C-alpha cells in the first residue's frame, strides 16, 4: 500500500483544516517547499497537494506552489482543488502534477470529467469522491447530494475510472480513525484502486486499510501533529 502525505495550501502556506472548515485553519509552515523537501528526505515518494484557495474560488490558484515543488523535488504529485475547467487541468499538468484529482466537477458535470478521463487516461485523472453520512459531498463539503458513495464509485468504475480518493468529510482532521467499513464495502463491490483519506491517526489504521485492500492511504494531520513519525513510515513507503 502506498503512503501519501497531504500538503494543503492556503495563501501559499502549508495548513490543515478540520472537516474542511476554513475557520479551523492552522499554519504548519510558511513555505510548502520546506515541508515537501523534509518529506522527501524521510523517504516519502508521494504527496497529495491540495489547493484550498482553488477549492473555495472554484478555479486553480496555487499552481506556482505546485510548479516549485515539482521542479525542486522528485516527489510524485497528485494535485487537487479548484479543478473545474480544461484550463485548470492543463495548468496542473503543465506545472508538474503527475495526477490530477477532480471531485466536485465529477458530480456536477459528468461529461466533462469523462472527457478528461479519456483524453489524459485513467492513470492520470483521479476521481475525488468525498462523502458525509454515505452521501456525496461537493463544493468544499458545503453541499451534500442524494447519491450513495458506493453506488457513485461503482458507476464511475464501470466508466473506466481506475483511482479514487475517497474522503469521509466528517473524519477529516479529526484523528479518530478512517471509514474502514465504507471502504471495505466499496472494495467488495468494485475493483477500483481506492486511496483512503480522512481520519488516519496511528499506524494501526494503516494496517487495517492495507488489510482490506486499499491501494494507498493519505495522511495529513497525524504527521503534522506528531501522532505518526515519518521514520515509522519509512518502512512502509
Instruction: Provide the annotated active-site residues.
Output: 8, 130
In DSSP notation, 13-51 reads: EEEEEETTEEEEEEEEES-HHHHHHHHHHTT--EEEEEE
Q: Are strands 125-132 and 2-10 parallel, antiparallel or unpaired?
A: unpaired
Distance of CA 110 to the CA centre of its chain: 19
Provide the Cα torsion 199, 142, 104, 25; round to 10°: -50
How many Å apart are CA 185 and CA 189, to the nearest integer?
6
Amino acid at each position: 500500500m502506498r503512503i501519501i502525505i497531504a500538503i494543503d495550501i492556503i495563501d501559499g502556506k502549508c495548513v490543515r483544516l478540520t472537516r474542511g472548515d476554513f475557520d479551523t485553519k492552522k499554519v504548519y509552515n510558511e513555505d510548502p517547499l520546506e515541508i515537501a523537501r523534509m518529506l522527501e528526505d524521510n523517504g516519502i515518494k508521494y504527496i497529495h497537494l491540495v489547493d484550498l484557495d482553488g477549492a473555495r474560488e472554484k478555479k486553480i490558484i496555487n499552481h506556482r506552489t505546485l510548479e516549485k515543488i515539482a521542479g525542486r523535488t522528485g516527489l510524485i504529485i497528485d494535485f487537487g482543488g479548484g479543478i473545474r475547467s480544461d484550463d485548470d487541468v492543463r495548468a496542473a499538468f503543465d506545472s508538474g502534477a503527475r495526477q490530477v484529482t477532480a471531485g466536485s466537477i465529477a458530480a456536477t458535470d459528468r461529461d466533462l470529467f469523462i472527457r478528461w478521463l479519456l483524453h489524459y487516461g485513467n492513470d492520470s485523472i483521479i476521481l475525488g469522491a468525498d462523502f458525509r453520512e454515505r452521501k456525496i459531498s461537493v463544493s468544499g463539503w458545503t453541499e451534500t447530494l442524494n447519491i450513495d458513495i458506493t453506488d457513485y464509485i461503482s458507476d464511475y468504475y464501470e466508466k473506466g475510472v481506475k483511482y479514487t480518493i475517497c474522503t469521509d468529510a466528517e473524519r477529516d482532521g479529526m484523528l479518530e480513525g478512517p471509514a474502514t467499513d465504507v471502504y471495505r464495502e466499496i472494495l467488495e463491490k468494485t475493483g477500483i484502486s481506492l486511496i483512503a483519506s480522512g481520519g488516519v491517526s496511528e499506524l494501526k489504521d494503516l494496517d487495517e486499510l492495507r488489510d482490506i485492500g486499499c491501494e494507498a492511504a493519505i495522511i495529513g494531520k497525524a504527521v503534522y501533529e506528531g501522532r505518526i513519525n515519518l521514520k515509522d513510515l519509512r518502512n512502509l513507503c
